[in-house]
C-alpha cells in the first residue's frame, strides 16, 4: 500500500516487483531539492536522461511496462532492443535482449554538445578512458560517451541532443538494423565490439524477487 516516505523530500511511495523480479519504487509529492542552473560551458549533468535494462524476455518486459506505465514504443533495433517514451523525449527507458536480467546503463544529460564534450574530456583527464564513444546514436539521435566504474563495473553514459517527438503528430515506430551506422552515425567511435557488449550486459542481478527493506 502507498505510505508516507521518511526519506529526504518526504512524499508518498509504493513498491512492487516487476515481471522479472526487479523492485520498482514509485514516489509522488516529493519536495524538489534546491539546485543551481548549469552554466553554459559547464560539463555537469543536468538530469538523468534514460535507463536501459537487460532482459531475458523482451516481449514480456515490454508488455508489463506498457500496461503499468502506459509507455509508448518509439523505435526498435531489429527484435533485440526497444525504446520507450512517456513524454516528448525519444526514450526514457529501453530494454535490450540479454541472457540474464541486469542493468545495462544509466545515461546523464548534459546541457548541450559543447558541455557534453567538456564532460567527456574531464573524465579522460581524470584517467577514465571511454568504454565507448564519443559518438551519436542512430536511434534517438542522442550523443554518447560510455564510462565504466572499475570496481562495481557500473556503466554510465554522458549524452545530449536526444530527438523530441511531438505528441500532437502521429509517430510510427521504425525498425533499425543492428549495424555500425545505427550504433554511431558519426562513425568516429570505436566499433561496438564483443568487449563493449559484454560490459553493457553486466552481471546477473542478485537482488531479484528480494524487496529491499523499507
What is the structure's pLDDT at 67?
96
Output the pLDDT for position 1.
Answer: 60
Question: What is the percent of the chain with per-residue pLDDT over 90, rounded to a whole number?
Answer: 82
pLDDT for residue 3 is more than 80: no
CA distances from 191 to 13, 133, 145, 182 (A): 42, 9, 13, 11
Is pTM beyond 0.85 here?
Answer: yes
Contacts of residue 93, Cβ cutoff 8 Å, sequence gap at least 6: 50, 51, 52, 53, 65, 71, 84, 86
pLDDT band at 48 (very low <50, low <70, confident <90, very high): very high
Amino acid at each position: 500500500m502507498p505510505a508516507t516516505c521518511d526519506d529526504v523530500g518526504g512524499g508518498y511511495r509504493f513498491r512492487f516487483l516487476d515481471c522479472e523480479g526487479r523492485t520498482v519504487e514509485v514516489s509522488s509529492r516529493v519536495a524538489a531539492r534546491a539546485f543551481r542552473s548549469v552554466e553554459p560551458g559547464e560539463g555537469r549533468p543536468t538530469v538523468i536522461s534514460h535507463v536501459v535494462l537487460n532482459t531475458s524476455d523482451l516481449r514480456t518486459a515490454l508488455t508489463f511496462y506498457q500496461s503499468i506505465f502506459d509507455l509508448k514504443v518509439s523505435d526498435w533495433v531489429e527484435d533485440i532492443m526497444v525504446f520507450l517514451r512517456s513524454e516528448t523525449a525519444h526514450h526514457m527507458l529501453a530494454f535490450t535482449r540479454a541472457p540474464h536480467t541486469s542493468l545495462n546503463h544509466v545515461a546523464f544529460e548534459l546541457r548541450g554538445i559543447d558541455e557534453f564534450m567538456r564532460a567527456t574530456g574531464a573524465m579522460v583527464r581524470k584517467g577514465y578512458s571511454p568504454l565507448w564513444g564519443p559518438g551519436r546514436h542512430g536511434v534517438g539521435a542522442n550523443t554518447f560517451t560510455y564510462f565504466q566504474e572499475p570496481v562495481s563495473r557500473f556503466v554510465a553514459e554522458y549524452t545530449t541532443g536526444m530527438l523530441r517527438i511531438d505528441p500532437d503528430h502521429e509517430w510510427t515506430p521504425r525498425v533499425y538494423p543492428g549495424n555500425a551506422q545505427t550504433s554511431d552515425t558519426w562513425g568516429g567511435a570505436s566499433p561496438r565490439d564483443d568487449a563493449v557488449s559484454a560490459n553493457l550486459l553486466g552481471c546477473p542481478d542478485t537482488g531479484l524477487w528480494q524487496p529491499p527493506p523499507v
